[in-house]
Amino acid sequence: MPHTTTWAERLGWPSLGDHRRFVTAIAIDAVGSGVFMPVSVLYFLATTSLGLVEVGAALSLSALLALPVGPLLGGVVDRFGAKVVLLAGNALQGVGFLAYLLTESFTAVVVWTVVVTLGRTAFWGSYGTIVAAISRPGERERWFGFLGALRNVGFALGGLAAGLAITIGTPSAYAAIVVVNAASYAVAFLLLLSVPATASSGHRPEPGSWATVLRDRPYRLLVLGQLCFAMSMMVLNVVLPVYATTVLGLPGWVTGTVFTLNTVLVGLGQGLVVRAMTGARRWRVLLLAHATFAAAYAVMALAGALPVALAVVALLLGSVVYTAGELLGGPVHGALSAEAAPEHLRGRYLSLVQLAWGVAGAVAPVTFAWLLDRGVWPIWAALGAIALAGGLVALRLGRVMPLATDRVSTRSEVLAV
């Protein structure tokens, strides 16, 4: 009987098999996170007596306090398995958000935001190990791409609910957002109980294992590439809204359209892009991703020299090109980071990748804001330099990391190279 191609296969998505609950949990988690992320500052402004500067300082301090925990959790993942850390991360976030309902002081905001941030760090510190465990070599770009697209769509759906709360603007509306988010973590926790446990070396710590990680020069280079990619991934949320509205003076609907374009393109296009790059060497895909980012930045910078109507067109075009860079680099970075790590040390290795994203999240807002305050060109020159650095790292990876020379595959066996 001939095989009938499903719509999911046509979009390049992987076969979910026994992992539907895990995928559902990721989707629910993303919706919950998407609900709160756009209103995090507004929530504390509406429900506490703190001012804008105090709220910003509390959130920044919390992020800095939690930053060193990522590498420590890597050892916990290797010792006890990723599932335990994943569940603990969900539980911590749920408890933290419930505590937000009773939070009024600066200290309380810092304490409970640290709890939430620790939970998020635990989630992401174990996420890559879980994805590597449920997928097989040759299909990991497909899995990382699919789950990244799923989270993107979840964030967008959550953002719609957040928009409703912002429109209502009452403390009760913001409190409802927090309750919904806490409930999403509880549901995700129950679904994640079915995730297969991951073990390494019988859960026995490996002597000198961190020394092994830190001596791995090719992987350190990969982490540097991840940092460049992560800095570029901050552009959509941190740079574009301010650039469009404050620097260029464009109408507010432009930013909304940019986010909508990104969500639709990632949600529907990620699997298709992975399928299109099948057979390409990984390092070349990463190089192309950074070159695509650089092209997008050039188009967006050009918008600053154009009249309003043409500036809108340039910004929308630049956002489409930017999204192409995201679609190219995300799945390959995810798969390569997981596969280049020895299985018994995967938690520690991937914690360095998580640290790179944490550093980008801490550095990008203040750095990009400072550059944006200096006009049109400084921000795009700096981002162009970051894209250039990422491209040079990709070139070097092609020479020093054998897995970076492997070809992208959408099948569950490794292609010959």
Residue 413's pLDDT is what? 44
What are the phi and psi torsion angles at 259 (to 5°)?
-65, -40
CATH code of the region 216-410: 1.20.1250.20
Each residue's pLDDT expressed in tens, for the chain with a length of 417 residues: 455 555 555 666 666 667 788 888 888 888 877 778 767 777 888 888 888 778 878 887 888 888 888 778 887 887 878 888 889 989 999 999 999 999 989 999 999 999 998 888 888 878 888 887 877 777 777 888 888 888 878 877 777 777 777 778 788 888 888 998 899 899 989 888 877 665 544 445 555 477 788 888 999 999 999 999 999 998 988 888 888 888 888 887 888 788 888 888 988 888 888 888 888 999 999 999 999 999 999 999 999 999 999 999 999 999 999 999 999 999 999 889 888 888 888 888 888 888 898 888 878 887 888 888 888 899 999 999 999 999 999 999 999 999 999 988 766 544 333
pTM of full prediction above 0.85: no
Amino acid 122: pLDDT: 86
Q: 407 has which bridge partners?
A: 281
Any idea which architecture 18-197 has in CATH? Up-down Bundle (1.20)
* pLDDT value of residue 417: 31
User: Which residues 6+ apart lie within 8 Å of 120 measured at CB?
Assistant: 89, 93
Identify the bridge partners of residue 281 per DSSP, sorted by sequence position: 407
Q: pLDDT at position 414, please?
A: 42
User: How crowded is residue 402: how many other Cβ atoms within 10 Å of its Cβ?
Assistant: 12
The 3-state secondary structure of 112-137, one letter per residue: HHHHHHHHHHHHHHHHHHHHHHHCCC
CA distances from 363 to 228, 238, 267 (A): 12, 11, 28
Question: What's at 271, amino acid-wise?
Answer: G
**Are both 18-197 and 216-410 of the same fold?**
yes
Domain boundaries, the chain: 18-197, 216-410
